[in-house]
Chain A
Amino acid sequence: MSGLLKVEAPGLSTTLQDLGRVGFQSLGLPVSGALDPIALRIANALVGNSEGQGALEIRFLGPTLSVEADAVRVALAGTQAPIEVLEPSRQITPAGRSVTLHRGWKFRIGAVADSGVCYLAVGGGFDAPKVFESQSTYVRGGLGGFEGRALQIGDSLPLAFGDGPTGLERAALRTFDYGNDGPIRVVLGPQAEYFTEAGLQTFLKQEFTVSREADRMGVRLDGPTIEHAKGFNIPSDGIVTGSIQVPGSGLPIVLLADRQTTGGYPKIAAVASSDLPRLGRMRPGATLRFAAIDVPEAEALRRAQEAQLHDLISGIRLTHGLGENLEDLLLSENLISGGEWATE
């Protein structure tokens, strides 16, 4: 028998996401999926799931959930915020390690200050139907996830596992280094010729700020306007996650997971895929600059990042859980060095 998690408070915007809906863009279906797929994969690895299993994507303020199952193993990744058990008694589990919760326990992820997004994975995953081969939620289309929408108070989230969690807990030795110092790398084009030389220089030399108009579809940036050379209409063509459109206003929009599949505004550049998680994690008010690189360099950066993630995941170690092992306790308090704890 499996069970469910009950939503006592939904958080600001909590949706079920996996690695996206691949193969359906020609039907006009967005890929959706995690804004920070790296943190999703780490969270899943910490509970023993396959890396692409659906997990709860939490934005800014997390949900409060109660356990209606014998036992469930959970882990949080992508933030330094902890998992707080509220009932039957207070217990804190830092992010980056798993914990087993029992029937009747109530727990929450509170305010997440260090990232725009983080992931709560459950051992065995959630029992939500796949729509076009993915559990990812596309809210605008009302597709996927739990009823095609963000969590609401009173929702029941069915769990997919048969038996409860067995074996030891897991902990990551370090947090992932997103490379936050430095500009966001981009590849110019495919419509770079739609911008004047001055416009390109503005784009590559000036600082931009993440506006309040930032959601899963894209991030609108505030800052200096980028000068068009020949209008802002193109015959609609293909878009990738990370494409940077510049409409008539001259202010760039970086398109993210829920982006449309095609579009008619000129695209000055696309974010290198290695830097996409950084964009997904940015909060309104964050500042950024862009730097141009070429395609082979972008591809190499992505492969290097994948190697870093592979190292982190294969370094995840089994542990008896907090409090049962002095070394773990000291490690969690950052009082001894078991690895690098990278700061954001």
Chain B
Amino acid sequence: METSVEFLPSGDTGLTVQFGHSIDRALSHRVVRLRAEIDAAQLTGVLETVPTYRSLTIHYDPRQTTQSAIIEALQPLIAAPGATSAAPGAHWRLPVCFDGDFAPDLLHVADWTRRAPEAVIEAMTAEPLYVYMIGFAPGQPYMGDLPDALAIPRRENPVARVPAGSVLIATGKSVIYPIANPTGWYVVGRTPAPIFDPAWKQPALLSAGDTVSLSRVDADEFGEIETQVRAGGYTTERLDRP
């Protein structure tokens, strides 16, 4: 089993343990497994761990420990990873409207891929997407993998604000914005379903390892769901537990 990793400093408060440079599910599982091991080890001065596609960032307090002490403590965990395997994730259906003002960048993406907008929508909704990680904003999922033909690179410069619920793509991945934020990605749709709420027992709807089926709705149905959400009567459909 390949166990080589790189230890990359993020200043004096973060250590990124990098497993590789590509994005694939095997790498993702290694990240998730190491995270579980580190959390269980409860190392002095380690504040929290953040899993991403191909690396784990360990946040620490330099007044309590050092990066070199953490690296030393990690060596046995990396050399002989435990046998823990990830529990299967949940499978969700999320309604998305790909029409008009909900999808301001759909035409640009279609042009770039040299296909019709319908083909872009088909590529987004044909197969369930795998949730690699949660990051950037509360409850925000990074999902993949879209066909290579859809792998439009990020914008050179971020735009200042896109609305909450936006469904965006870039580099073959898709994200959903729980709140308005700047972005370097392209907005191809919007979901009325909330994906983060501090009042929920599990505040983030999605977790790394889940799968998501994007389900096309028109503007009218979008409005109906939005009304249900505001009234507190909407529950996102879970497909693995009917």
Contact = CB atoms under 8 A, between A and B. Distances in A.
A and B bind = yes
B104 interface: no
Interface in B1-51: 8-14, 16, 18, 21-23, 47-51
A299 to B, nearest CB: 4
Contacts of B67: 295, 299
- Most central of A241, A264, A295 by chain B CB within 10 Å: A264
Interface stretch (A101-109, A152-160, A195-203, A229-237): A229-237
Interface stretch (B81-89, B91-99, B176-184): B176-184
Specify the main secondary structure of chain B where it touches its partner: loop
A33 to B, nearest CB: 12
Contacts of A295: 9, 11-12, 66-68
A262 B136 contact: yes
B12 to A, nearest CB: 4
A249 interface: yes
Interface string A294-309: 0110110111001000
B34 to A, nearest CB: 13
Given A25-B59, A28-B134, A140-B179, A235 B52 contact: yes
Given A273-B62, A299-B67, A238 B10 contact: yes
Interface string A21-37: 01111111110000000
Contacts of B134: 26-28
B42 to A, nearest CB: 13
Contacts of A263: 136
A132 B10 contact: no
A14 interface: no
A238 B138 contact: no
Contacts of A29: 138
B63 A306 contact: yes
Interface in A258-287: 260-265, 267, 269-273
- Most central of B138, B139, B171 by chain A CB within 10 Å: B138
A140 B136 contact: no
Nearest to A299: B62
B13 A260 contact: no
A166 B76 CA distance: 54
Nearest to A217: B182
Contacts of B63: 302-303, 306
Interface string A138-169: 00111100000000000000000000000000
Contacts of B66: 295-296, 299
B213 interface: no
Contacts of B57: 237-240
A241 B180 contact: no
Contacts of A239: 10, 57
B157 A303 contact: no
B48 A22 contact: yes
A242 interface: yes
B154 interface: yes
B135 A261 contact: yes
B216 interface: no
B181 to A, nearest CB: 6
A243 to B, nearest CB: 6
Please list the 9 inter-chain residue pairs (A to B) with the smallest Cβ-Cβ separation, ordered nearest first. A238-B57, A248-B156, A270-B11, A262-B135, A298-B12, A190-B8, A240-B14, A299-B62, A260-B136
12 contacts: A28-B135, A28-B178, A143-B138, A189-B9, A236-B53, A238-B55, A247-B156, A262-B52, A267-B10, A270-B13, A299-B67, A302-B12
Interface of A: 22-30, 131-132, 140-143, 186-187, 189-190, 231-233, 235-243, 247-249, 260-265, 267, 269-273, 295-296, 298-299, 301-303, 306
Given A27-B203, A189-B9, A295-B67, 8 more contacts: A190-B16, A190-B18, A236-B133, A260-B135, A273-B62, A295-B12, A299-B12, A303-B62
